[in-house]
Structure 1
Amino acid sequence: MAVGDASIRYLNLDRIEKEAKSAKKFMKWGCVLVCFFGIGILGSLFKINDENKKFTGNDILSSSDVKLTEEEKAMLAPYLEKKETNPLYMSCILLIPSAIPILISRKKFREIASARRYETIFGSDTDGIITADELSTQLKRPTSKIFAELKDLFAKGYFQNCSLGKEGDTCVKIDNALGNEVLGTGFVEVTCKNCGATNRIRADSHGKCSYCGNPLYGKIQEE
């Protein structure tokens, strides 16, 4: 079978490159943020608090040198209390959202890997029609999950030269070959000279009639 480089037949390489660059940026900034707040947590854990040298508003109220009535102490207490935000607590809170860019990056890389895996299946198909059952058998996954994933990947523009069908028997259909087809990307309909049956085979490739086994050739039709 005369086929071209699989990576340029059904994958939209511009989209792949764009998503890969975006994923790397998210991963970079996510790691920077996690490291930044992680260092903040370590700094908070090892921070030395010299409690003996602290002199807070409560110390003033309890000092024997300050003569205040209980009513006066109650009035001054809200203004003299020293309210501090625990740096360890704040670092832990900020560490959680800082991991979001890393999660986004991992999701994008998984999408790219899935698109490449599907492209391999598309490139090895013999009739240009990939059914849900075929995908389920090869990927060992439920058809509903496969269709949902493909729907998302097609919507984001990861594929070209093929289209997604409705959920059911036909899942993905490879486009028909054009007149300038040279890579075996699309398919053409060929009538068997032996039995007269119509077969759909990859353009510029050799195959066999699915009914009688007679040799066939996918000649590209000029536009």
Structure 2
Amino acid sequence: MSMQQTSRPRIVAYRIAGIIASILGYFIDFIFGLTLIFGNPLGGVGTIIVLLIFIAIGTWLIIYGIKTKRKIIRFKKYVNIISLENETSLENIANACSQSIDFVIKDLEVMIAQKFFTNAYIDRDTNEIVLERKNNSEVSNNIIAKTEVVESKVVTCKNCGASNNITIGTVAECEFCGSVLNS
């Protein structure tokens, strides 16, 4: 495996942060909501304001957790469109997702910045997402191809669900998320 960091740890950490935020948010809203409803009415306006602030924080954490879950679902959908349908046109990706092209561009740019996609960028001139290929694997595949007949197979990435064509008996990285693939 190369020294380059794959996206799998990023996605897992992002998912865990979303789950923790949701659980914490529900817990805060439950505790402080019950305190607000059944608490001592002599606490005064200051107490009520503090309770409402904590309820607002809990609600924000719940919303953050929901948005995190939705972003991961959209990431997996993008990967499936790009890998299975071999689609890189942002307009076609947006149509397949029933989203506006501006939303998809911003969403993909954020995911690229957060390292969900490794070796990817948005080409504004062609309006496509570009996934750079690894030169090392191309060189080693060319050397193998010159010396013997190379057999390859399609392997589905366990992390993002993308289909990758790899040489049998080798270890490779997913073109989309950088996770390790075994043939």
TM-score between the two structures when normalised by the length of structure 2: 0.63
Give the secondary-structure state (helix, strand or coil) at the position aligned to 1:157.
coil
Query: Are 1:32 and 2:17 an aligned pair?
Result: no
1:136 to 1:12, Cα distance in 2 relative to 1, 3 A: same
What residue in structure 1 maps to residue 127 of structure 2? 170
CA contact (8 A) 2:154 2:165 kept: yes
The runs of at least 4 consecutive aligned structure 1 residues that moved more than 4 Å come to 180-185, 202-205
Structure 2 gap segments, 5+ residues each: 1-5, 142-151, 156-163, 168-183
Higher helix share: 2
Residue identity matched to 2:56: I
Q: Which of 12, 27, 44 in structure 2 is aligned with 1:85?
A: 44
Residue deviations 1:31-74 (CA, integer Å, cap 9, x gap): 11111111111213xx577xxxxxxxxxxxxxxxxxxxxxxxxx
Give the secondary-structure state (helix, strand or coil) at the position aligned to 2:123.
coil
| Larger radius of gyration between Structure 1 and Structure 2 | 1
Cα distance in 2 for residues equivalent to 1:15 and 1:89: 37
Cα distance in 1 for residues equivalent to 2:133 and 2:14: 28
Structure 1 gap segments, 5+ residues each: 1-10, 50-83, 186-201, 206-223
Residue deviations 1:196-218 (CA, integer Å, cap 9, x gap): xxxxxx8569xxxxxxxxxxxxx
1:122 to 1:25, Cα distance in 2 relative to 1, 3 A: same
CA contact (8 A) 1:37 1:95 kept: yes
Q: Which of 15, 19, 22 in structure 1 is aligned with 2:10?
A: 15
What residue in structure 2 maps to residue 125 of structure 1? 85
Aligned pair count reads 140
TM-score between the two structures when normalised by the length of structure 1: 0.53
What's the CA shift for 1:137? 2.4
Give the root-mean-square deviation of aligned CA atoms: 3.0
